[in-house]
Amino acid sequence: MTDILMPALSPTMEEGGLAKWLVKPGDTVTPGQIIAEIETDKATMEVEAVDEGVVEALLVEAGAQGVKVNTPIARLRGEGAPPITSPANGGGAERSEAEGASPPPPRPLSQPAADSSPAGGGAKAGERIAASPLAKRIAQQAGIDLAGLKGSGPHGRIVKADVEAAMGRAPAQATAAPNGSRALTVPASAPKTLEQMGVAPGSYDLVPLDMMRRTIARRMTDSFRDIPHFPLTIDLEIDKLLKARAEINARFADQGVKISVNDILIKACALALMRVPESNASYSPEGIALHHHADVAVAVAIDGGLITPIIRAAETKGLAAISAEMADLAQRARDRKLKPHEYQGGTFSLSNLGMMGIKSFASILNEPQGMIMSVGAGEKRPIVKNDALAIATVMTVTLTCDHRVVDGAIGSAFLKAFRGFIEDPMSMLL
């Protein structure tokens, strides 16, 4: 027997969703054959078989979410080997909560699991409680009595989600105080429910978190909590930039060229990173990584979240090339067809909300990048020029810096170089 494991489709992938099976029990598969579609936090990707054999069982149902990397999702037997008696195709659904334990041998669907309990509610007195090992461990740590829980897993089995839900509504637990009295405490890891925070039950609709939202929530929380960051904000006059853009688009319209302000910003950021190489850096425990190229990640809004496709070596590309590449990446991002190398890594991020009328904002750092620039709307504002009041198109940008890598002096030097390219676009030709 050979187990097919949940693959790690990117270096940062910890879990995924099994979107679709393209094989069924009894099918013969060969190396290279596409057998399933897996959902990561950013895309849906096809998975190929590595071994040859006959599908004995599908251990995770199509549509399952939160399946941990390296969890068995299917089982193959060698071609010509006898099948296991009464294989249970659906019985493997109990593996949808990925816990890493060796899968139980398949059993007939008509027979309940050895540790199963009635699906209608908690276990009766003296009856064995059906719970996954992970659920048991979390419950023990949180002081939750499994006997009173209703399992949502196969055959009423209690799974991780059931314990976590119970933790959210768990009453205070009695613990012994030093003086012998009983003190009431709530498990430190217990998350608060909306009801505990004063929101009336039934007053809202709950949309379950998909893989993208889970990953965004985790990564942004980690970044905001763990990275010492600070903002630098400047105003830029962009009248010359807008004029240059209009002239380029008019001159090359017959060649299908249509440059956006964002395309020019990408180029200016890349050139500024090359002008101030200390700013084109990432923190690592081994040291500060100074990158050879400016790989500019650009935030693109898609259904259910955000993704940052990357223009690699942007300092080497002209505006027309950047425009065409960005249009292709953005479209494939919305279709969830990007490959991991097209949105992972990068040396710098750019997020533009100007087209939505946002004047200024600050973004959260996207590791491993040392800086992220937030771009607001260009608008007519009064300015003082040569001691006289004037009108100019002004855009506010905020640079969020990882202080472990980019201090105030380096961040300021980057913004000075960036300002030079934006306010005098012709300098980008040098």
Catalytic residues: 403
CA 406 to CA 408: how far, in whole Å?
Answer: 7
Q: Which residues contact 394 (CB under 8 A, 6 or more apart)?
A: 235, 236, 237, 238, 378, 379, 380, 381, 383
Measured in degrees and rounded to the nearest 5, phi and psi for residue 420 equal -60, -40
Give the tokens for residue 395.
């855009």
Unique residue bearing structure tokens 């904000």: 233
Is the Cβ–Cβ distance between 366 and 345 less than 8 Å?
A: no
Of residues 229, 228, 220, 221, the one with CA closest to residue 400: 229
Is the Cβ–Cβ distance between 146 and 131 less than 8 Å?
A: yes
